[in-house]
Amino acid sequence: RHFLKSMTERPPTQGEPPLKKYKEAEKDEWKELLEKNRMWAKDKTTIQPDYFSTLKESQEPPFLFIGCSDSRVPPTALTKSGPNTFFVHHNVANQISSSDMNFMVALEFAVNTLHVRHIIVCGHYRCGGVQAAIKGADGLMGAWVQPVRRTYLLNREELDKLDELEQWRKLVELNVINQVKNLLHLKVLIEPIFAGKSTPTIHAAITDLRDGLIKELPLPLDEWKATGLIPQSYNNNNHIVG
């Protein structure tokens, strides 16, 4: 009993964060967040009094945004937009997998219920998940980014000719294209595509943290047609990059 009491009352050892200071900072951060929320809501109703009464009725976002969990790349901030613009799904390294039920439900709901007009698969340079794949991370992170690791290994001869930063950037791009390819394997899209029905326009995109700009990558549709992934008639709604 005395031993347990002494353990709970012991002073912090060197390197430990002071608990009281941490708790105070945590409380202040949360209060600040709530205050900013109140300010945002007030600003919205000042400009448009019926903003929330309209917003609550339904959501009709034109975009499904599939992006990385990274806190530096929120789509609404990057595009100067707001609520009812994006239906979002985030995970580490913006991956698409038929075994991810969270993602599969989001995709099905976005396409079949919300009828989004665009699907954006968006990565970002300096992605920690992609870097973990290059380095061969262990544990749960290693298991999660293994598909990205496989992309790295398949393209290693080309990638190893680049310096470390350029290699990282190139794999971010290859990963986004590969995730779009994974997307096109899924029933909710590929069946209507082969049936000649209307489907959302698909965009492969990268956010550059150096300047905050989003760029779109061209999709290798001809290559995918040659392998039979998509039919010869598919043109992604005649979308042209650039």
124 is catalytic: yes
**What are the start-end ranges of the E strands in 125-212?**
201-208
Distance CA 239, CA 242 (A): 9
CB 177 within 8 A of CB 221: no
Catalytic residue among 89, 127, 149, 203: 127
What 3-state DSSP class applies to 66? strand
72 is catalytic: yes
Number of CB atoms found within 10 A of residue 159's CB: 18
**What are the start-end ranges of the E strands in 101-188?**
118-124
Catalytic residue among 72, 150, 156, 185: 72
Catalytic residue among 89, 122, 124, 169: 124
**What are the start-end ranges of the E strands in 42-169?**
63-68, 86-91, 118-124
68 is catalytic: yes
CB 135 within 8 A of CB 159: no
239 is catalytic: no
CB 66 within 8 A of CB 121: yes
Q: What is the set of active-site residues?
A: 68, 70, 72, 124, 127
